[in-house]
Amino acid sequence: MEKKTDYIKITAIILIGIAALWIFFGPMLITQLSWGVNFGGKDNNTGQIGDTIGGISAPIVGFVSIILLYLALTKQIESNKIQQKSSDSAIHEANFRFLYEEIKTLKIQAEQFKFIKINGDEVTGAHAFNFLSSRIKNPMFTIHEDNKSLHELYRLFTNIERLTYLINNLNTSSEYKTIVITDLNFIHLEYFKDISNNIYNCNVESLTKDTEQNRGNMNLLKQKAISVIKEINALEQMDKA
């Protein structure tokens, strides 16, 4: 495209030069030099020479004008493409920074997650997830003893769902998406993967010691865990594609 544009530019310059030389020196060459032809006709009317020159030069000037217009439009299109690319790049970076901050917030929330053990000791972060995960896996698990932690876990699962939606729908580059998907996968692996799988495998209906409302809440948490597992897997597949 650039070579074609350069060729047109060179051709336009040559035609402009020829047209300029013809306009300035054509009348003098025809009227002042003897060519063996009477350009003025029987009455030696040199006005006819001007008409002839005008008739010849007008198409040349028109053709050169068309080329110049084409070059101007080509330059405008190239400029618009550069501006669009710059604008897209700014949008990609802004969306990446937003997603990166959201992932940082999720990590902070995961680190602040609390679980109270039977002896009253409080653990946070990965240890809290591990303790709660082991309790859910235990056949003697009862929902009501861990209601507060389970409600907080539901909120964190919702935040992960929101993040996966944003990653899928916000306009950013593939390189930026790879970074945020990698970070989110790392957080999921460190804090959420084991507990998500244990909730998924939990037989809620067997928890007969709990109330129907608690079992209903646990089913909602299970649906949320299944959704998170699917969304994370989908992001991994998208990143590999």
Q: For 210-221, write each residue's pLDDT tens digit.
A: 788 888 889 999
Q: How far apart are CA 214 and CA 217, in angstroms?
A: 5
Q: How far apart are CA 216 and CA 143, in angstroms?
A: 10
Same domain, 47 and 149: no
Same domain, 155 and 204: yes
pLDDT band at 238 (very low <50, low <70, confident <90, very high): confident
115, 117, 214, 228, 229 from 121: Cα distances, Å: 8, 5, 24, 29, 30
**pLDDT of the residue at 117:** 77
Q: For 6-44, write each residue's pLDDT tens digit.
A: 666 676 677 667 666 666 665 555 555 555 455 554 555
pLDDT(239) > 80? no
Asked if residue 98 belongs to a domain, the reply is no
Q: What is the DSSP string of 183-195?
A: HHHHHIIIIIHHH
**pLDDT of the residue at 83:** 74
User: Could you tell me the residue range of the domain that residue 65 belongs to?
Assistant: 2-85
Between 32 and 235, name the one with better pLDDT: 235
Q: Among residues 70, 85, 100, which one ends one of the domains?
A: 85
| Structural contact between residues 152 and 112, judged by C-beta atoms closer than 8 angstroms | no
Average pLDDT value for residue range 183-206: 91
Same domain, 51 and 120: no
Q: How far apart are CA 26 and CA 50, in angstroms?
A: 10
Number of structural domains found in the chain = 2
Q: For 139-190, write each residue's pLDDT tens digit.
A: 777 777 778 889 999 999 999 999 999 999 988 888 999 999 999 999 999 9
Same domain, 167 and 68: no
Same domain, 142 and 46: no
Same domain, 206 and 171: yes
Q: Among residues 50, 85, 120, which one ends one of the domains?
A: 85
66, 67, 130, 223 from 194: Cα distances, Å: 70, 68, 8, 15
Same domain, 20 and 137: no
Q: For 44-98, write each residue's pLDDT tens digit.
A: 555 555 565 566 566 666 766 777 777 778 777 777 777 777 777 888 889 999 9
Asked if residue 74 belongs to a domain, the reply is yes
Provide Rg for the chain, Cα atoms. Answer: 39
**pLDDT of the residue at 55:** 63
pLDDT band at 5 (very low <50, low <70, confident <90, very high): low
**pLDDT of the residue at 29:** 59
Asked if residue 142 belongs to a domain, the reply is yes
Asked if residue 91 belongs to a domain, the reply is no
| Structural contact between residues 71 and 9, judged by C-beta atoms closer than 8 angstroms | yes
Asked if residue 107 belongs to a domain, the reply is no
Asked if residue 10 belongs to a domain, the reply is yes
Q: What is the pTM of this model?
A: 0.66
**pLDDT of the residue at 12:** 63
Most confident of 1-5, 196-200, 214-218: 196-200
Asked if residue 104 belongs to a domain, the reply is no
Average pLDDT value for residue range 103-120: 89
Q: What is the DSSP string of 50-85?
A: HHHHHHHHHHHHHHHHHHHHHHHHHHHHHHHHHHHH
Asked if residue 14 belongs to a domain, the reply is yes
**pLDDT of the residue at 236:** 86
Same domain, 193 and 78: no
